[in-house]
Amino acid sequence: MTVAIVAVVRGFGTHAGGVMTALVTRMRALDWRAQWHEAFAGAGQAWLFVFKGVLAIGLSAWLAMRFDLAKPYEVMVTCAIVLHPNSGMVVAKSFYRVLGTMVGCLAGVLLVAVFVQERTLLLLGMALWVGLCAGGASLFRNFKSYGFVLAGYTAAIVMLPALQQPQLLFQSAVMRFSEVMLGILVATFVCEAIAPQRLGPALRASIRSQFTGFVDFVRGSLAGMLERDALQQAHLRFVSKVVEVENLRSSVVVEDAGVRAISPRVQRLNQRFMAASTSYQSLHHLMNRLQDTDHAEARTALMALFNVQAEALAQVDAEADVLAQARALEQAQADVEAPLRACMTARRAALTEREARLDFDTGAELMLRFAAELKAYAEAYEALVKRGAQQRPMARSERVFARGNDWLEAASIVVRVAVMILITGWFWIATAWPGGAFAMLLSSVFCGLLASKPKPRAAVRAMFKMSVIGVLAGFVCLFGVLAHMSGFVLLLAGLLPFLIVGFYPFSNPKLEPMARIGLLTFFLMMQLDQVMVYDVPAFTNRALGLLLGALVSGVAFQLFANPGDNRFLHQRLLDKLRAEVTRACRAPLAGARERVESASRDLFMQLIGYGTAQDEFLGWGLSVHETGRAIVDLRRDMTTAPAPLYQRLVAVVDAIGDLYATPGRASHVFARRRVASARRAAAGHSQVLQHLHLLRLALLDRESVLAQYMASADKEEQHAA
Amino acid sequence: MLREIAVGGLFFPALLLLFILSLALHTILDGVAARYGWYRHLWYPALFRVSVFVCIFSVLGFLLLHGGWV
């Protein structure tokens, strides 16, 4: 707009003299205001959230005291836990929290009802329940984990007051459920009704950048060869994009019904993106493998195909609006198929050697497949972004995003947490310390919270620090400020500075979990009620109990991490990544392709999250993607093969599965031999031959991770095959 | 219709069931409205949705407490 003003001003020319000066001054003022807006946009959001937070806490406290709930502070604690700047996250969390609270209350009531006379058995039952819930929380990566966390510690909260007086058990359960529900309702209402911050735009931006990033990459790399490093980096980028879109989608889907309606299309888009990027990378891998001089003919022939595709892509204007780009891309890909096929037949006729023809065929098939998948991807993007597009019914398998879960880690968490709760409980029983109940409660709360984080060990120290800060703040607020106040309005006024300091960091994603722990402990320590009790020894007991609980859960997660520390975990994740290929070999064919694409990417992201030894992971990630896809395609095509070939192909699939399950020199040689024998039998079947050729090239690639298992006598194998 | 519903000796307020019912109705209406894009004509969809929910719940509540179902 400033450009327009400048143009207008210039156009007016000299006789706009004084007007011009005035306009220029106004322009500068506009710029200054725009800068001001930009600088404070982030802070404005933060202050809006502080306002919402204070409103939610005030409203929930007022309502809780009005309804005479037993523990009004629990309502405020729930508010503090649930509130989040993005309203979609609040709704998603709330839904699973309600479920978790219901299950937890039921479990608490059941446990006490069954074990009311046996305190050791009750302790055992409680430890087991909290442990199982913590294990469940670590298995799921979305909001379902909150449900498990809640179920775990709600049972503890319901049970502990009832231990001295079992007849209060049911009332305790009902009260707890009411408090949590009230907190959730208030928080959800405040976040949804007052200037809700949506994640929808973030999802749309993510999808857009996925599309533009991929198209730009393809455009840039069709011209020539890509080094292995560049390929790996690109792979990393694409995988993180895929997982980012999927994660955003799963949190946005609860936000509003508009996004829910398009959620299947987003999943389909993601699937197609994965397919297209895998094909493209396989193509470049093939080109890299054909680098040496034996295969120069095939390589130059394939480069001609690349040029055809590059010309088609050149028609897509990079500067245009993204939707227009998608439409143009779809059209270009629809048109490019005929020229590609024509170029294919022309070049193939020029090649003389059998080997060269085979290389060329494989590459050409990959190219055609990539062209088709790129078209499908553009089509899916267009269908997503265009409003009111017809909803084609989608196959279930098109929408799957499988995740890789680690049962062993979950089981170890179950054992650790249960043992820690048992130790705390034994300590409480043995010492009859009044703060012991609180310690058990807090240890179950923190264990649950830590279990749901992807990297618990890193969070332990920060959590402990924040709980100390929360305790100190609670002390200052309770005895320094609130002791002099009476009445609800003054209560809120006294809390206000602490709430502002507590809620402000929520807008920063890094600081948010810490601020949440701080607020949580703050409210837990103060125990605000209609009739306040200011008792310093009781407060100190509670504080010590809280810190002991935090310490115990920290020990459970930091000291008793998996045996052999992170190296063991890395190895396990690598094994699971490789197991995706084995699963592609052995599992039923329906949906196998989508499974192998999505699960391997999810595992890959987990591996990258650990940070170390990236090259090895990148190498295995690429290898798994490529081979997994090739195996699934081979299995699909071999159903039409005649009997003797079919037997050999089954043998090939088994051998590849064994190779990835237990990589070693023997299994590598075995796999190569099987592939060679199948190739000999597959003389007439071009599709099968191409897949076998791809597999063989992948096995013989000296730069891939499988190279370490190659025996030195590979030269004679190459000639014999 | 009763004000309280007894389930195995426990009393649940009938309003609670109505609340859940109106939540369900609201979710359905919300889905339909989002599918056909009615929210685009509104200035502040969030407040509108909350108000619609309050309206549904109030209507059902009045029908229960003062209506002809008794």
Chain A, nearest residue to B52 by Cα: A193
Please give the structure tokens belonging to residue A257: 């019904």
Is residue A174 within 8 A of residue B13, CB to CB? The reply is no
**Which residues are paired to A435 by β-bridges?**
none
| Residues B46, A194: C-beta atoms closer than 8 Å | yes
Of all residues in chain B, the one with the smallest CA distance to A181 is B16
Please give the structure tokens belonging to residue A461: 């120290």
Q: What is the pLDDT of residues A530-579, one digit of tens each?
A: 888 899 999 999 999 999 998 888 888 877 665 445 666 667 777 777 88
State how far the Cα of A354 lies from the Cα of A366, in Å rounded to an integer: 18
User: What is the rounded distance in angstroms from the CA atom of residue A248 to the CA atom of residue A351?
Assistant: 49
List Cβ neighbours of A28 (8 Å cut-off, separation of 6 or more).
none
What integer pLDDT is reported at residue A720 of this predicted model? 44
Nearest to B46 among A196, A257, A388 (CB): A196
Mark yes or no for CB contact B49/A189 under 8 Å. Answer: no
A593 phi/psi in degrees, rounded to 5 = -65, -45
Res A14: pLDDT: 45
Q: Which of A48, A67, A182, A192 to mutate to test the interface with B (most CBs of B within 10 A)?
A: A192
Angle A286-A287-A291 from CA coordinates, rounded to 5°: 115
> Tokens 């220029």 map to which residue?
A24
Side-chain-side CA neighbours of A186 within 13 Å: the count stands at 26
Q: With an 8 Å Cβ cutoff, is A702 touching chain B?
A: no
CB A507 within 8 A of CB A42: yes
Task: Read off the pTM.
Answer: 0.70
The two three-digit tokens of residue A713, written as one number: 């006598």
A640-693 tens-digit pLDDT: 777 778 888 888 888 888 888 888 888 888 888 888 888 777 777 777 777 887
- DSSP per position, A229-287: HHHHHHHHHHHHHHHHHHHHHHHHTTT-HHHHHHHHHHHHHHHHHHHHHHHHHHHHHHH
Lowest mean pLDDT among A53-67, A293-307, A379-393, B36-50: A379-393
Q: Is A402 helix (H, G, I), strand (E, B) or coil?
A: coil
Strands B4-7, B10-13: pairing is antiparallel
Which positions in chain A touch B9 (Cβ < 8 Å)?
none
User: By the 8 A CB rule, do A371 and A302 touch?
Assistant: no
Query: In the structure encoding, which two tokens stand for residue A530, read together?
Result: 């209609």
By C-alpha distance, which of A628, A621, A605 is closest to A403? A605
Tokens of A492: 């809120």
Q: How do residues A160-188 score in pLDDT, each as one tens digit?
A: 888 878 888 888 888 999 999 999 999 98
**Residues above pLDDT 90, as percent of chain A:** 15
| Count of CB atoms situated within 10 Å of the CB of A558 | 16
* Distance separating alpha carbons of residues B59 and A60, to the nearest angstrom: 25
Look at residue A387 in the predicted model and tell me its pLDDT.
59
Rounded Cα–Cα distance for residues A190 and A386 (Å): 32
According to DSSP, residue A531 is labeled S
Assign residue A195 a region (left: φ > 0; alpha: ψ between -120 and 50; beta: otherwise). Answer: left
The answer to whether the Cβ–Cβ distance between B34 and A194 falls below 8 Å is no
- A196 and chain B in contact, CB less than 8 A: yes
Q: From the list B27, B31, B47, which residue is nearest A193 (CB)?
A: B47
A193 touches chain B (CB under 8 A): yes
Candidates A218, A341, A352; CA nearest to A277 is A218
Closest CA in chain A for residue B48: A193
For A333-382, the pLDDT digits (tens) are 888 888 888 888 888 888 777 777 777 877 888 888 888 888 888 888 88
For residue B63, give how far its alpha carbon lies from the nearest alpha carbon of chain A (Å). 24
| Residue A519 pLDDT exceeds 90 | yes
Do the beta carbons of residue A177 and residue A443 sit within 8 Å?
no
